[in-house]
A and B are shown apart, each in its own frame.
Chain A
Amino acid sequence: MIYLDNAATSFPKAPGVADAVSRFITDIGANAGRSSYSTARKSSRIIYQTRKLLAKLLNADNSSNICFTMNTTQALNIALKGIVKPGFKVLTSPYEHNSVMRPLRQLESQMNISLDFIKIIDYDIDWQHLLFQLEQKPDLLILTAASNVNGYLLPYNKIARMAHKYDIPVILDAAQVLGSNPVDTADFDIICFPGHKGLLGPMGTGGLYVSDSISLQSLMPGGTGSRSSSEYQPDEMPDLLEGGTPNLPGLAGLQVSLQFIHDTGIDAIVARKLQLTSQLLQELANIDDIIIHSPIDPNLQAGVVSFTSLRYSISDLAWEFDKADIACRMGMHCAPAAHKQLGTYEQGGTLRLSPGYFNTTAEIDSVIKLLKDLHK
């Protein structure tokens, strides 16, 4: 199979990840942070070392500011529901995934918050309007780093720095960039991320970085192994946000994939992804009747390509891809807001191809050949 659905989840995983998951289950298996026998110590160290590798990637001074979750959605819900109060004014982008929009819409109806959206026209931020919006002093800015629909890489650092000038806390949804683009804790109050996409780790892993300036409450209080004599959730990070037994097999795998990313280097990973994405975009542009819905400029790309065809529906195209054993995703990509922004909502979305670090130029050639044959 040619796997081009890395925006959904990366495949294959980094070398050694599957072995680490399997080894944890067969050879270790103990819970972490509860006991001091040898395998329990190993489990505690896996969590600690994985947290430290994440801190290094995020340039965080203190790894205890990073909490593990099962995915980005859980992290975003912890962040939003821990920070938002009734009547909050929240500024966001028109490119948000439903992992941001659904909690926001829920808070809109439950807590009467109001939403405002950054204006973006043809991948250009309306900076003047953004200044005006920031001057209205929203209580929070939540922003995706890159669109999962078309790879549009928002100028997230610049926007966050502007918001901070107005003392507005900023949450970054780093789902599409962590592991392949630099993300620095210096610019954000909260960063939410998956372990199974750009970090090349197992599903069921993710997390959030929370700066010391933010005080969140636990959405899921429970056992932590610490302060066990108290019936109240510890207020110390990371235990505050980590009630219950974590996904230790997954974190054992994530530890290995993070080490792979550090050894390989973010620069090499982003270079490979952009090379494959550029190849795809350039070739697609040469096929009659294909409409590209992604930025062509590599500086605006996180490695996701969306397109439609004037000759085929996206479902027929997806069927052809399936028959050719090529993995892609068609439809709304859980991001109706982004499709409304792109003008592809009414037609039911787009077909999306998202290369990963392990794809090859030969695989992209095969995809292009299929599309050329279909559009002869």
Chain B
Amino acid sequence: MTALVLDQLRKSYAVAGQAALHGLSLAVESGSLTALLGPSGSGKTTTMKLIAGLIAPDSGDIRLGDRSIRDLPPERRGVAMVFQNPLLFPHLTVAGNVGFGLRMRGLASDRIAASVAEMLERVRLTDLAQRKPAQLSGGQAQRAALARALILRPEVLLLDEPLSSLDPGLRDEMRQLIRALQRETGITTIVVTHDQTEAVALADRIALLLDGRLAQYDSPQAFYGRPATMAVARFFGGVNFIPGTARAGIFDGALGTLTLPPGLPEGPGVLTIRPEALRFGEGPNPRAAQIVALSFLGSLTRVDLDLMGVPLQALVTPDTARTLGPGTEVQVSLPPEALWLLPPDA
């Protein structure tokens, strides 16, 4: 079932500095966790503010279920938003902050207290209920901000870069908490992030925004194996691009003819292979390669190769790296199932 539909949303700003949207369409599945991914200036935060009702679109529609929420004020949309900074209300305690939304709805104070206690338990802040926001650490404040939104059981929960203000050590913990709470509550959630590894680790589906447009909406795996364009492939760390022509399961380009997997389109295109999918040693689509350089990256090593004058990159484990030396000749294989065809760059 579709929960949230963005239909041809357009937004431009008179003042520079805020990213515009050029006709964004997206249909988010009910109960899913979607990452809205994109570089800074791609329109992620603008999209969130449009959904939350903090700004109005120039044109286009926003629908929740089958009703348009485009013209509703923020408080009547059933959408709650957690901002990049926790933005807790400094004059209220943690419990006061978490109970804020229920208080605005006019609930009885004993019911609010019960809900707040339960919510604080879930985000492990029970002991800090009576603290003021200034006495919290960054992670605690962000958990309180999350609890403050979740307690309202919104139809859609928007999280704007919820991890970016946290120390790296806390990010993983917060990511797991978000994932667990989302599964538990089943609230349709959209997380904004500029970090593709974070999007992959967190989300069921990723919506990649490039220049105010939806570049691809797909599972995390698809962005690695089946990117829609060269720009998408590059954003996810794609580096190997070989122009040529596909015909009858064969790709003809600068590397000679290569066998393609079944089901790829025919005609001119750009062949791509993930750097981690290149194999060293015997295999299908074999080629002789010269090792240009080895760069230690930590858990993986980057290998710069020269294949018949075409520069390619491979990522290998330390075990494989140990067998390789700069300047030596090696045999590599481009497995057909790892090959993917992109449309020619416009």
Q: Do A and B bind each other?
A: no
